[in-house]
Amino acid sequence: MAGTISRRHVLGGLGALGVGALFGGRLGAAELPGKRPNIVFIMSDDHAAHAISCYGSRINKTPNIDRIAREGVRLDNCLCTNAICGPSRACILTGKYSHMNGFLDNNDTFDGSQQTFPKMLQNAGYKTAMVGKWHLVSDPTGFDYWNILPGQGEYVDPMMIENGKKVKRTGYVTDLITDTAIEFIQKRDEDAPFCLMCHHKAPHRNWIPDARHADMYEKDDIPEPDTFKDDYANRSKAAAEAEMRVNRDLTPTDLKQEPPPGLEGDALAHWKYERYIKDYLRVVASVDDNVGRLLDFLDKEGLAENTLVVYTSDQGFFLGDHGWFDKRFMYDESLCMPFVARFPGVIAPGTVNRDMALNVDFAPTFLDLAGVKAPGDMQGRSFLPVLRGETPPDWRAAMYYQYYEFPQPHHVYPHYGVCTDEYKLIHYYLPGKMDEWELIDREKDPKELRSLCDDPAYADIVKRLKEQITAFRKELRVPEELA
Ligand code: CA
């Protein structure tokens, strides 16, 4: 498989004499010159890469998120191991898959007594903060300061919980979270490095824009994605049975207006799509503005040079793709996470990388950057060398995925599978109700519209991928009953 070969492209001026040459091979972060770096980890909720202009969005512009990529790296193959909010956050905190950290779906409660990267950074002398959307039910642990939204939180005048105390706030949630993040940095202990998690609620459903962006796109016609009219034929019945269709499953609360009388069929579906996507993009525009505000603040404070800034989202999202909103499936729009990062002197400006990174890699990566050894039970691997442009020769060429939440709220069957550069093999399962496989040829069918599982020409590939799944499940210690 080609994935073991690094396919990085350094677009910046450093070329072959990139940061690797500057910092000398596999030099550990602890040996980086100067003070230990700060970490500003910005994460939004449900922001798909195809609604970010540096990822080639056809429908919006995100100049501030693009700035991070321009001054640093854009990962084009960052994948989520369980594409849903709470579970992805638990994977990120622990560096472990859902079945190991115990947070399989959004009905779970995070066991805050377990090992997480913020705790390890705190033990290593970092000041740690968690601001914004937490969504793990139990109170945050491992933070010197936390100020979170309860549950999903509100877009306007939200309640927030500051170190255990409820405080009603006035304003728009994305602005307030950024204000609070900036205040944490302003009040920081200047003798210690910090790790700040600035986690936005936006652009999570039900997409309520602020006044500044309320009329944005009003006169525009936003094009539907190519697969908007997917008929779900030639695949598992899982796709057809999912309840997240733009033309059927958006509620009056989502749409916020009654459809004009007389609209039906494709015209009504398009009207609903426009209602949905415009509010989604307005909410994204506010996230982007606030990313810019935080970047400007870091510049003003003189912190830009010694701070890793990351922008990502807890998973991707369907923006009308396959006719859907929401996420969950192992299809690309949901599986792929945007990930851009800037760290001057370590990440060469304008780097674009296609090596496979996972959400379970974030914890070991942040620890590596801080010079803290990642514990052996973390299942991810530091991709700091990848960010530096020095992908290890034995870097992964495949990943394992598993999703659990069923039947509510969107009737997406549990599934697991393997993803390589060339293929996805997905098994939808539910004892007595569902036992179907899909094989996607990613090169020939990038829109993921046709399963080739029953095509004799692919029999050997299916066999090999099934063996790979078995090996992954053993290595990752997935309990047998989760199948
Ligand atoms: Ca989410």
* Ligand 1 mean position, distance from CA 260 (Å): 31
* Ligand 1 mean position, distance from CA 87 (Å): 9
Burial of 109 (0-12, 13-18, 19+ CB in 10 A): exposed
* Ligand 1 mean position, distance from CA 201 (Å): 9
Query: Which of 27-41, 222-236, 452-466 shows the lowest per-residue confidence on average (mean pLDDT)?
Result: 27-41
Is it the case that residue 69 has pLDDT exceeding 60? yes
Q: Does 94 reside within a domain?
A: yes
What one-character DSSP code corresponds to residue 172?
B
Q: pLDDT band for position 225 (50/70/90)?
A: very high
Mean pLDDT computed over 175-181 = 98
Burial of 361 (0-12, 13-18, 19+ CB in 10 A): buried
* Ligand 1 mean position, distance from CA 84 (Å): 5
* Ligand 1 mean position, distance from CA 92 (Å): 13
pLDDT digits (tens, 9 = 90+) for 381-425: 999 999 999 999 999 999 999 999 999 999 999 999 999 999 999
Please provide the average confidence, as pLDDT, over all residues in the chain: 93
pLDDT of amino acid 186: 98
* Ligand 1 mean position, distance from CA 189 (Å): 32
Mean pLDDT computed over 171-176 = 98
Q: Does 125 reside within a domain?
A: yes
CA–CA dist 470, 172 (Å, integer): 47
Domain residues for 73? 35-211+272-396
Q: Does 103 reside within a domain?
A: yes
Three-state secondary structure call for residue 269: helix
Is it the case that residue 312 has pLDDT exceeding 90? yes
* Ligand 1 mean position, distance from CA 315 (Å): 6
Q: Does 387 reside within a domain?
A: yes
Is it the case that residue 228 has pLDDT exceeding 70? yes
pLDDT of amino acid 341: 98
Mean pLDDT computed over 268-293 = 98
Q: Does 405 reside within a domain?
A: no
pLDDT of amino acid 476: 98
pLDDT of amino acid 35: 87
* Ligand 1 mean position, distance from CA 342 (Å): 23
Per cent of the chain over pLDDT 70 is: 93
* Ligand 1 mean position, distance from CA 50 (Å): 15
CATH number of the domain within which 57 lies: 3.40.720.10
Torsion of Cα atoms, 228 then 232 then 237 then 238, to 10°: -20
Q: Does 258 reside within a domain?
A: no
* Ligand 1 mean position, distance from CA 347 (Å): 27
* Ligand 1 mean position, distance from CA 411 (Å): 17
* Ligand 1 mean position, distance from CA 73 (Å): 23
* Ligand 1 mean position, distance from CA 43 (Å): 10
Q: Does 123 reside within a domain?
A: yes
pTM: 0.93
* Ligand 1 mean position, distance from CA 115 (Å): 22
CA–CA dist 235, 232 (Å, integer): 6
* Ligand 1 mean position, distance from CA 360 (Å): 15
* Ligand 1 mean position, distance from CA 369 (Å): 26
Residue whose tokens read 């560096």: 95
Is it the case that residue 15 has pLDDT exceeding 70? no
Is it the case that residue 84 has pLDDT exceeding 90? yes
* Ligand 1 mean position, distance from CA 267 (Å): 29
* Ligand 1 mean position, distance from CA 441 (Å): 27
Is it the case that residue 22 has pLDDT exceeding 50? no
Which residues, at least 6 apart from 7, have a Cβ–Cβ distance to it below 8 Å? Answer: 353, 354, 355
CA–CA dist 117, 126 (Å, integer): 11
Is it the case that residue 187 has pLDDT exceeding 90? yes
Mean pLDDT computed over 153-179 = 98
Residue whose tokens read 């939180």: 153
* Ligand 1 mean position, distance from CA 396 (Å): 25
Q: Does 290 reside within a domain?
A: yes
* Ligand 1 mean position, distance from CA 454 (Å): 33
Is it the case that residue 6 has pLDDT exceeding 80? no
* Ligand 1 mean position, distance from CA 455 (Å): 35
* Ligand 1 mean position, distance from CA 128 (Å): 22
Mean pLDDT computed over 324-343 = 98
CA–CA dist 53, 314 (Å, integer): 18
* Ligand 1 mean position, distance from CA 204 (Å): 7
* Ligand 1 mean position, distance from CA 46 (Å): 4
pLDDT of amino acid 34: 64
Is it the case that residue 198 has pLDDT exceeding 80? yes
* Ligand 1 mean position, distance from CA 185 (Å): 26
**Buried/exposed code over 5-44 (b: 16+ C-beta within 10 A; e: otherwise):** ebebebebebeeebbbeebeeebebeebeeebbbbbbbbb
* Ligand 1 mean position, distance from CA 126 (Å): 27
Tally of domains within the chain: 1
